[in-house]
């Protein structure tokens, strides 16, 4: 569904989405990386459980909330991918973690 426009000499890094490793281009957002990897949902809504994908890709709609490196409710469109990042689909509403 999604692919890079120019795939020549692209630096990549490894990350994990739902326990599976992927190589993705350096410098893209988590939301773009997930779409590029062919993932068909980023979260399920808390009310109906319906699957959601990024909509606005600029941090306004909150349809891209995911659990990233163990932290829920992260806007995937606003975070740049990092080496060895762990990304999980968020199931419904997530409890906020307290920072210590």
CA separation, residue 65 to residues 4, 22, 71 (Å): 23, 20, 10
What pTM did the predictor assign? 0.83
Q: Tell me the percentage of the chain whose pLDDT exceeds 90.
A: 56
Average pLDDT rounded to a whole number, residues 81-86: 98
Q: What was the pLDDT predicted at 4? A: 64
2, pLDDT greater than 70 = no
Cα separation, 28 vs 62, whole angstroms: 18
Q: Tell me the percentage of the chain whose pLDDT exceeds 70.
A: 83
Domains of the chain (ranges; CATH) run 12-91 (3.10.20.440)
91 band by pLDDT with thresholds 50, 70 and 90? confident
Q: What is the pLDDT of residues 32-81, one digit of tens each?
A: 999 999 998 888 887 888 888 888 999 998 889 999 999 999 999 999 99
């Amino acid at each position: 569904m999604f692919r890079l426009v120019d795939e020549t000499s692209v630096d990549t890094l490894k990350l994990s989405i739902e326990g599976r490793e992927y190589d993705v281009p350096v410098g893209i957002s988590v939301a773009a990386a997930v779409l590029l990897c062919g993932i068909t949902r980023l979260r399920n809504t808390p009310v109906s459980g319906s699957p959601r994908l990024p909509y606005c890709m600029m941090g306004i709609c909150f349809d891209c909330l995911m659990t990233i490196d163990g932290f829920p409710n992260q806007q995937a469109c606003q975070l740049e991918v990092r080496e060895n990042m762990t990304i999980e689909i968020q199931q419904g509403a997530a409890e906020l973690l307290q920072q210590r």
